[in-house]
Structure 1
Amino acid sequence: MEKRKLVVIIGPTAVGKTKLSIDLAHRLNAEIISGDSMQIYKGMDIGTAKIKEEEMNGIRHHLLDIKYPDEDYSAAEFQATVRPLIDEIANQGKTPMIVGGTGLYIQSVLYDYQFTETPSDPAFRMKLESELQEKGELAIHQMLERVDPEAARKIHPNNSRRVIRALEIYHCTNKKMSDYIGNQKQELLYHTALIGLTMDREVLYNRINKRVDLMVKQGLVEEVKGLYDKGIRDTQAIQAIGYKELYDYFDGKISFDQAIDSLKQNSRRYAKRQLTWFRNKMDVEWFDMTPPIKYDEMENEIFTYIAGKLQF
């Protein structure tokens, strides 16, 4: 059977994916599937830089606001949702387009990625959770570094649930979580135009800093405080950058200025990790968005590449 045509736009936070995706979607008669692991959550709009309805400019978006912040979500669930959605959009005569920066989620859809059912050990997990309470997140993360350094590099110490899960997999199978990912076949399931946006690092970091300042002006603190006051804690959603830092501020662990500085620093580090992931894991056609590019010319160049690649 002929492979479906699929456009994918990836890149680090604040590089300009949203505007470009809307402009290209109009030219390609596309619908956009969010490839962001945190924009799925309701009530988490400012901190995740979620597109506003007026910015969509008539383009239909999928996988925004589909979960509550106290619910978990996974790459396996993303894969199971997105693959039928690609078929549905294509069957309507439109072009499916995935836009986002969550590498594992997007990779799980594009490639023949099998999610292996791994055994669990509730007693071992409870032991780790007890140690987490006693010794803290860093101590648990260091345990993972000793048995699976690659997974430890990819999982932030604050994301204790994933750290514990990786340790549990190793405990039960004597195999690393990274082995399950590394052994997957790198065969594209779709006729894919995979566009990567990049930018001079200092320029990108400056954009990230300014974006954080803008988020604060737009009401980020109030947004996070609303979740905090509802008692939502220790969930996957609250591990998101922009939320965990302000939770530390509300808990009295750090000052407000420290929280914002930490938010900016963590956002810059995340952008660096995103670029490293995409360059190492996917066959991407990169386009440099560093100013003073002429945006219209760059958009036209990217459109021409997609049209040629997918034979529109």
Structure 2
Amino acid sequence: MSNQLPVINLMGPTASGKTALACELYERGNFELISVDSALVYQDMDIGTAKPTKEEQAQYPHHLIDIITPLEVYSAAEFVEDAYRLIDEIHARGKTPILVGGTMLYFKSLLEGLSENLPSADLAIRAEIEAKAEQQGWQAVYDELKLVDPLAGEKFKVSDKQRIIRALEVFKITGQPITKLQAEQPKNVAYRYNFHNYALIPDRAELHQRIEMRLKKMWEIGFLNEVEYLMIKYDLDENLPSARSVGYRQALDFLKNSDKSHKNKLEMEDKSLFATRQLAKRQYTWLRSLQEAHQFRTYLTIKQAQEDLRNLHG
């Protein structure tokens, strides 16, 4: 339809190079950038989130960075509301929005719409579910989910902890299975946009190398000092969604619960590396599932993407 306005989605796992690519496109065309990253929304969480520096943000402004404190919660529904508003404002300025990031739930919600009958997160209920997992193990929590929502039990594995928490949380709040509520949700509510979906999906071995280099740099430029500062300024608690971000969780545990020996520090760095690789693995899975439902162009390397997108103009 000719009245559909273009929206460019640039997705990829952590450390794949998508931000650098988006900044390059920004320089070449009539674009504005919207961050699609659930960690970049937090103020003062800079090093561990690989947030563009203040200088980079001045040169390549991103919407939806630094919008809340680490003590606040930001949901996928809030993201969709903010993103639609920004997309419309950018189009009104005669520009094309580029949405760039790795939070695939946000992209999925944007492309498919969100169920209005899905409740917001409830931190008390989440803490209760996590306490049960700690006491009885994740298998017990997974078994509880299978009882109340057999369909979710079939879809998820016992290792899908975040999804299990969310499904049980929704059931405890609404008394209805999340699969039933999701089935009732409106699809493709963003009918007025013409989405162009691009994904950087590097070879796993190469991505693992990039992740390792990024983490090494993080430790070198003072990531632990940043977490100590957050603990002082915000009394950061490991149960907050912000503190569950990869790297922060491991660093908080090290600073709060260890003797801070060199051995424990190395162990914490290894745990952070493993957790970041696991995050990338989940992002690959999300991307594959999104690709099944939506049209995508994927690239193995930044160079490939640069060549293909060189004629892209806002």
Same fold, TM exceeding 0.5? yes
Matches within 5 A, 1:255-294: 255-282=264-291, 283=294, 284-289=296-301
> Do the aligned residues in 1 keep the contact of 2:9 with 2:195 (CA within 8 Å)?
yes
> Do the aligned residues in 1 keep the contact of 2:133 with 2:141 (CA within 8 Å)?
no
Which 10-residue stretch deviates more, 277-286 or 236-245?
Answer: 277-286
Q: 1:142 maps to what in 2?
A: 142
Q: Distance in 1 between matches of 2:61 and 2:127?
A: 46
Amino acid at match of 1:115: E
In the TM superposition, residue 22 of structure 1 has moved relative to its aligned partner by 0.6
In the TM superposition, residue 217 of structure 1 has moved relative to its aligned partner by 0.6
Q: Distance in 2 between matches of 1:138 and 1:109?
A: 31
SS of residue matched to 1:170: helix
In the TM superposition, residue 32 of structure 1 has moved relative to its aligned partner by 0.5
In the TM superposition, residue 272 of structure 1 has moved relative to its aligned partner by 1.1
In the TM superposition, residue 180 of structure 1 has moved relative to its aligned partner by 3.7
Q: How big is the alpha-carbon RMSD for the aligned residues of Structure 1 and Structure 2?
A: 3.2
Q: 1:6 maps to what in 2?
A: 7
Q: Distance in 1 between matches of 2:224 and 2:165?
A: 29
Amino acid at match of 2:109: S
SS of residue matched to 1:235: coil
Q: Deviations over 1:202-226 (max 9, x none)?
A: 1101110111011111111111111
Matches within 5 A, 1:117-132: 117-118=118-119, 125=125, 128=128, 131-132=131-132
Q: 1:78 maps to what in 2?
A: 79
Instruction: Give the alignment's TM-score, normalised by structure 2.
Output: 0.83
> Do the aligned residues in 1 keep the contact of 2:42 with 2:242 (CA within 8 Å)?
yes
> Do the aligned residues in 2 keep the contact of 1:42 with 1:66 (CA within 8 Å)?
yes
SS of residue matched to 2:246: coil
In the TM superposition, residue 227 of structure 1 has moved relative to its aligned partner by 1.7
Amino acid at match of 1:58: Q
Amino acid at match of 2:252: Y
Q: Distance in 2 between matches of 1:127 and 1:60?
A: 36
% identical aligned pairs: 31
In the TM superposition, residue 142 of structure 1 has moved relative to its aligned partner by 3.5
Q: 2:194 maps to what in 1?
A: 191
Change (3 A) 1:246 1:108: same
Task: Write out the 4+ residue segments of structure 1 that deviate beyond 6 Å after TM superposition.
Answer: 119-122
1:47 aligns with 2:56: no
Q: 1:249 maps to what in 2?
A: 254
1:301 aligns with 2:308: yes
SS of residue matched to 1:251: helix
> Do the aligned residues in 1 keep the contact of 2:122 with 2:169 (CA within 8 Å)?
yes
Q: 1:30 maps to what in 2?
A: 31
Change (3 A) 1:143 1:223: farther
Change (3 A) 1:218 1:105: same
Change (3 A) 1:126 1:109: closer
Which 10-residue stretch deviates more, 230-239 or 113-122?
Answer: 113-122
1:237 to 232, 239, 242: 242
Q: Deviations over 1:82-101 (max 9, x none)?
A: 10110001100111110001
Which 10-residue stretch deviates more, 243-252 or 141-150?
Answer: 141-150
Amino acid at match of 2:107: I
Change (3 A) 1:181 1:224: farther
Instruction: Give the alignment's TM-score, normalised by structure 1.
Output: 0.83
> Do the aligned residues in 2 keep the contact of 1:144 with 1:152 (CA within 8 Å)?
no
SS of residue matched to 2:10: strand
**How many pairs align?**
298
> Do the aligned residues in 1 keep the contact of 2:91 with 2:97 (CA within 8 Å)?
yes
Q: Distance in 1 between matches of 2:256 and 2:195?
A: 46
SS of residue matched to 2:116: coil
Amino acid at match of 1:28: G
Unaligned segments of structure 1, at least 5 residues: none
Q: Distance in 2 between matches of 1:20 and 1:135?
A: 45
Q: 1:61 maps to what in 2?
A: 62
> Do the aligned residues in 2 keep the contact of 1:31 with 1:89 (CA within 8 Å)?
yes
